[in-house]
Amino acid sequence: MRLSIKLFGPDRRAVGLGELPVEVRRLPITCAELRKRIAEVEPRLAKSLGHARIAVNCDFAAEDALIQPGDELAIIANVCGG
Amino acid sequence: MNLQIRIVDGPVPPMDLWDVPGAGAIISFAGNVRPTEHDQPIHGLEYEAYQPMAQRQIEIIARELIESHKLLGMRIEHSVGWVPVGQCSFRLEIAGRHRAEALSAMAEFIDRLKRDVPIWKNSK
């Protein structure tokens, strides 16, 4: 199955994409599993993923939260509003 | 609940009058773009937001603080897109019955904005 992960800020610029496609063998998977899979697919995000949070449907998700088909996913790192 | 949240394209416009019945304190904070970033001169900042999540997270923070500090209202405006040096990119107004709870909530809101709201800036 293909997931699409939204990227913003430094992550978007590092990869050159606003959405990163990530193939997974099954769903649901946990956010921790997704984090590991993203690092495999896009090593340029590995450093950011060390401290980034995963957002699922516009909320920060715990590492053991399950990702279901159709969920909106994003990597949130280094926010600096204000 | 008197809560207004706006994400605007470009600089945040000048403040208009906000009448909140019962408020003994209406305080405001304006975040302006500084002329330097890491000691280097800049022309401005390009703001990027994950807009639906930014709107949602701002609302969560605002509602929690209105409840916990017993505030009368809050208005939040934040820019996306280009904001030149000297222009406002963020304004927060808080209305309370007394100044103490409004001032306390202001510091807490800004701390949480910088930690939990998906907005990024890039200097140019």
Mean local confidence (pLDDT), A45-65: 95
Whether chain A has a CB inside 8 Å of the CB on B29: the answer is no
- Distance, in angstroms, between A33 CA and closest chain B CA? 22
Closest C-alpha to B75, from B59, B88, B89: B59
Dihedral sign of CA atoms A67, A72, A78, A82 in order:
negative
Q: Domains in chain B, ordered, with CATH?
A: 2-13+24-34+43-123 (3.90.1170.40)
Distance, CA of A7 to CA of B116 (rounded, Å): 16
Mean local confidence (pLDDT), A20-27: 95
Distances A55 to A17, A58, A78, B64, B79 between C-alpha atoms, Å? 17, 6, 14, 20, 22
Residue position matching structure tokens 């910088």: B114
Q: Domains in chain A, ordered, with CATH?
A: 2-76 (3.10.20.30)
Helix (H), strand (E) at residue B29: strand B25-32
Whether chain B has a CB inside 8 Å of the CB on A4: the answer is no
The 8-class DSSP code of residue A65 comes to P
Distance, CA of B120 to CA of B89 (rounded, Å): 12
Asked if B119 and A6 come within 8 Å (Cβ–Cβ), the reply is no
CA of B121: which chain A residue's CA is closest? A80
> How many CB pairs below 8 A link A and B?
61
Burial class (CB in 10 A: 0-12, 13-18, 19+), A8: buried
Which residues from B are below 8 Å from A8, CB to CB?
Answer: 48-50, 118, 120
Q: Please state the pTM of the whole predicted model.
A: 0.93
Per-residue pLDDT of chain B (124 residues; tens, 9 = 90+): 799 999 999 999 998 899 999 999 999 999 999 999 989 999 999 999 999 999 999 999 999 999 999 999 999 999 999 999 999 999 999 999 999 999 999 999 999 999 999 999 999 9
Residue A27, CA atoms < 13 Å, CB-side half-sphere: 12
CA of B110: which chain A residue's CA is closest? A82
Asked if A79 and B90 come within 8 Å (Cβ–Cβ), the reply is no
Q: Note the ipTM here.
A: 0.93
